[in-house]
Amino acid sequence: MNGWIGRCLRINLTQGKHHIEEIDPKLLEKFLGGRGLGVKAFVDEVAPQVDPFSPENKLVFTSGPLVGTGAITGASCNVITKSALTGGLVCAKMRGHFGAELKFAGFDMLIIEGKAEIPVIISILDDKVKLIPALEYWGRTTVETEELFKKNLGDPWSARETYVASIGPAGERLLPLANLVNDRFLPVGGAGIGAVMGSKNLKAIAVRGRHSLQVADGNRFMQVVTTLINKLNSAPLTQSMSQTGTAFLVGLCYQKGILPQNNFRRAPLPLRNIGTEALNSGFALRSRGCFACPIACIKKADVKHPAYEGKGMAPTYLAIGSLGVNCGITDLATIGMASMMCGEMGLDPVAAGGALATIMELVEKKVITPEELKIDLRFGNGEAMVEALRLMATKKGYARRLGQGGQALAEEFGRPEIFMGVKNLPLAPFDPRAIQGMGLHFATCNYGPHHLYAYTFIDELLNVHENLEPTELEGKPLLVKRYQDTTAVMDSLGLCNWPLMGLKFNNYVPMVNSCLGTSYKADDLLFIGERIWNLEKGFNMRAGFDASHDTLPDRFTKEPIPDGPAEGQISRIEEMIPEYYHLRGWNEQGEPLPETLRAFDLEVG
């Protein structure tokens, strides 16, 4: 097969056995691979009511058909499971080289089921699948785990080609906020996965492969990829992304009043020390790329910064927003430290930042005192925040409460309205009052309010393909639906979504066809994306989500933004949701109509 391999590795941790299955080509045609295939396999095999921590829950790792073929930005590996945080599906996008190496190891999909008796590491090295006892790794940080595993391989050559995804202390202690870390990158949107891995006593997965991938028309494929690289080079936004990573968004979001401060209560004061200039002058940036990525947006701070000692990652937009400004912290070095702490401990920065912002507001409202917490968590206290992240992950002291997540905290103190999140997941740092389309997406997204399942800001804020005002409602439901479907299909192909800032979705179609030997048109692919979205929606509905979860906290719909460029705006999602449901072919309760499901060839009921 071209692009696809057509094999799935299934590992049962309870029995300690594994076997290889063929994947039905019809499924690949219908769901493409990656996120689509993974969600399909998960939905078919796992009951929606299952407890995330029970052995019946499964972990699915899937790499799309374009991953590893050299298709630009074809690197993303999707991790799908039932989230310990939201109780619904979670689909994390793993960056780096893990996904490509999984393909070279000869698998499109890896399904992990059951629960090991003792901590184990799954090692898939050159066709040998083994479960290695991991007692000596348990309790270590993600970076230590990776280093120790490579050292234990004994051969520096093969260690260099091995890629490891592991959980940190947070995942081992079953914190719902835990994430996994591969190649020292945090997968985005993975809150809830670390704890599921921890509950299976699975510390890490290591892969290395030597198989070849086939491409349908190599010459044409090489030409198309070269053209796309040149196109990306002439796009100004992907150039900024190359230079400073996603942090270039900070300034733009700030100008439009989208960047939130102090738990979404006000717009930040002028940011002199946090934008791209500060990043450039404070850190010598060194780019790191995921597999086959011409942009390389991940930045290492390869300098002797006192806080970093030459090992840290430069803060991204997510870190600056969630762990920084929204917690009142405007010092890049502290934000970088917090982000690094999240990586080492295996905490999701958005989820952890949301929990911290919640507790900081509780402190400010005097619902809880810093003495009770035994840690001085206030808006703007960076040192305490970094310490709280460490204590949270190691579950020490009073900070252990924090690890349960913002929603649980706010409810514990009887103030659920303080938690700024949807479906238990805190909002990514975009104020939905100032960017209406993103607000609609946050409310309706199957996975919780995360921008990475619909990059609507590309059109709303950056005006790349369409010229839309962030605060207008006109055309937003259609925009949200289109981006949600586009993202679903890009994830299924295994492509990163950020290049959409420089390329149209149509530009990808020749690359897909020359690689896979298919004759898709852009609309065919988007149709598959919509099918995937409906499939995910169906599972979440059976897991207990309904229209009442498609909403935003009252702060966004009732309290106008008090200051800044978007002063006076509120989120008007109620006006948009009916049109959105209608466009999706759903009824007023947000349930897919039987004819919609039939049109997508999905099971009705």
Decide: is 151 part of the binding site for another protein (CB under 8 A).
no
List the end-to-end C-alpha distance of the chain, in Å, as a whole number. 34
Query: 248 vs 556, which CB is nearer to another protein?
Result: 248
Interface with another protein by CB under 8 A: which range of 66-74, 263-271, 462-470, 577-585?
66-74
Nearest to 350 by CA among 322, 325, 331, 327: 322
User: What does the block give as tokens for 461?
Assistant: 């804020």
CA–CA gap between residue 505 and residue 490 (Å, rounded) = 9
**What's the closest the beta carbon of residue 495 comes to another protein, in angstroms?**
14
Interface with another protein by CB under 8 A: which range of 219-227, 409-417, 444-452, 566-574?
219-227
Site for another protein in 277-306 (CB under 8 A): 286-296, 300, 302
- The answer to whether the beta carbons of residues 594 and 459 sit under 8 Å apart is no
**What's the closest the beta carbon of residue 494 comes to another protein, in angstroms?**
13
Decide: is 148 part of the binding site for another protein (CB under 8 A).
no
**What's the closest the beta carbon of residue 181 comes to another protein, in angstroms?**
16
| 10, 95, 192, 355 alpha-carbon torsion, rounded to 10° | 170
Decide: is 226 part of the binding site for another protein (CB under 8 A).
yes
Decide: is 507 part of the binding site for another protein (CB under 8 A).
no
CA–CA gap between residue 438 and residue 258 (Å, rounded) = 10
Place of tokens 């696809």: 4
CA separation, residue 132 to residues 124, 135, 169, 204, 345 (Å): 11, 9, 19, 10, 22
- The answer to whether the beta carbons of residues 29 and 132 sit under 8 Å apart is no
Query: 152 vs 212, which CB is nearer to another protein?
Result: 212
Of 54, 214, 518, 596, which lies in the binding site for another protein, with binding defined by CB under 8 A?
A: 214
**What's the closest the beta carbon of residue 75 comes to another protein, in angstroms?**
8
CA–CA gap between residue 85 and residue 31 (Å, rounded) = 26
Decide: is 144 part of the binding site for another protein (CB under 8 A).
no
Interface with another protein by CB under 8 A: which range of 65-73, 76-84, 169-177, 387-395?
65-73
Decide: is 54 part of the binding site for another protein (CB under 8 A).
no
Of 16, 25, 218, 594, which lies in the binding site for another protein, with binding defined by CB under 8 A?
A: 218
- The answer to whether the beta carbons of residues 6 and 26 sit under 8 Å apart is no
Decide: is 357 part of the binding site for another protein (CB under 8 A).
no
**What's the closest the beta carbon of residue 250 comes to another protein, in angstroms?**
22
Site for another protein in 84-103 (CB under 8 A): 97, 100
CA–CA gap between residue 352 and residue 362 (Å, rounded) = 15
CA separation, residue 30 to residues 96, 160, 207 (Å): 27, 36, 28
Of 124, 213, 338, 375, which lies in the binding site for another protein, with binding defined by CB under 8 A?
A: 213
Decide: is 160 part of the binding site for another protein (CB under 8 A).
yes
Size of the site for another protein (CB under 8 A): 43
Query: 197 vs 225, which CB is nearer to another protein?
Result: 225
Of 217, 376, 411, 591, which lies in the binding site for another protein, with binding defined by CB under 8 A?
A: 217
DSSP 219-260: HHHHHHHHHHHHHHHT-HHHHHHHHHGGGHHHHHHHHTT-S-
Phi-psi region of 569 (alpha: psi -120 to 50; beta: other; left: phi over 0): beta
Decide: is 271 part of the binding site for another protein (CB under 8 A).
no
Decide: is 104 part of the binding site for another protein (CB under 8 A).
yes
Nearest to 343 by CA among 83, 589, 37, 95: 95
CA–CA gap between residue 432 and residue 480 (Å, rounded) = 13
**What's the closest the beta carbon of residue 421 comes to another protein, in angstroms?**
34
DSSP H/E element including 42: helix 34-45
**What's the closest the beta carbon of residue 277 comes to another protein, in angstroms?**
22
Decide: is 131 part of the binding site for another protein (CB under 8 A).
no
Angle between helices 505-516 and 522-542 (to 10 degrees): 90
Query: 160 vs 598, which CB is nearer to another protein?
Result: 160
Place of tokens 């004994």: 154
**Binding letters toward another protein, positions 181-210, x by CB under 8 A:** -----------------------------x
Query: 229 vs 604, which CB is nearer to another protein?
Result: 229
Q: Give the binding site for another protein (CB under 8 A).
A: 2, 68-70, 72, 97, 100, 104, 156-158, 160, 210-218, 221-222, 225-226, 229, 232-233, 286-296, 300, 302, 310-311
